[in-house]
Amino acid sequence: MKKINFKHGFWAVAVAVLLTSTLVSCRPYSKSHVRKNFSISVSQEFPNTNWAFEQEVMEFNFDIEDTATYFDIALSLLYDSSVVTLKEIPLTLTLTSPDGMKSVATSQFLLDPKANSNVHPEGNGNKMIADVVVYPHRKLKTAGTYNLTVYRRAEKADNYGFISLATNVTVSKEQK
C-alpha cells in the first residue's frame, strides 16, 4: 500500500472542495432567461487584404445553448474604401444546425455609405465596416454548434482592400 503524503493530499482535497463549491454556486441561466448583452463574434482575416477566390466560401462556427431566445445573425465586413471598387457583394448563406437541418438565405453587402446606413467608418482613415443581418429574429431550436457557410458570388476572382469578415450573433431586440 502506497503512503499518501499528507501535504499533497491536503492540497488535492482543498482544490477539490474549492472547485466543487464554485461549480455549485454558479447557476447556469435557465432557457427562459434572456441575457440581453449576449454576443458571439467570430472573425476571419483576409491575407494581403485580398478576398481571394480560395476564400469565396467561408465557414463560421458558434455555439448556442439557449434555445428559447431569438437571435440576430449578422455579418460585418471590414474593408478599405480607398481600394475597394465594388458597390455590392452578393452572398448565399447556409446555416446548419447541430442536428443537420439547413436553412439557405441570400443577402448582399452594399458598400456605398451614401446608399446604405449600415456602412460606417472604423476609426480614422479609409477603413469602413458594412453590416448586414442575414438571419433576423431567428430562434435556434437545437443547442450545440452551428455552422454558417458564406458563399461570395462576386464576379472577380481576387478582390483587394478587404480586411476581415465576421459573423455576429446577438440577442434580437424583439423577443416573442
3-state SS of 35-55 is: CCCCEEEEEEECHHHECCHHH
Residue 79 CA, chain-centre distance (Å), reads: 18
For 69-123, the pLDDT digits (tens) are 999 999 999 999 999 988 999 999 999 999 999 999 999 999 988 888 999 999 8
Query: Rounded mean pLDDT of 44-67?
Result: 93
Name the grid cell of 43.
472573425
* Whole-number percent of the chain with pLDDT over 70: 78
Query: Rounded mean pLDDT of 145-150?
Result: 97
List the helix and strand counts (H, then E) for the chain. Answer: 1, 9
Q: How many residues does the chain have?
A: 176
Angle at CA 40, nearest 5°, toward 176 and 103? 60
Name the grid cell of 76.
460585418
3-state secondary structure of 56: coil
Global confidence as pTM: 0.76
Q: What pLDDT score was predicted for residue 142? A: 96
For 15-46, the pLDDT digits (tens) are 343 333 333 333 333 333 445 667 899 999 99
Q: How sure is the predictor about 9, in pLDDT bands with cuts at 50, 70 and 90?
A: very low
Domains in the chain with CATH codes:
39-171 (2.60.120)
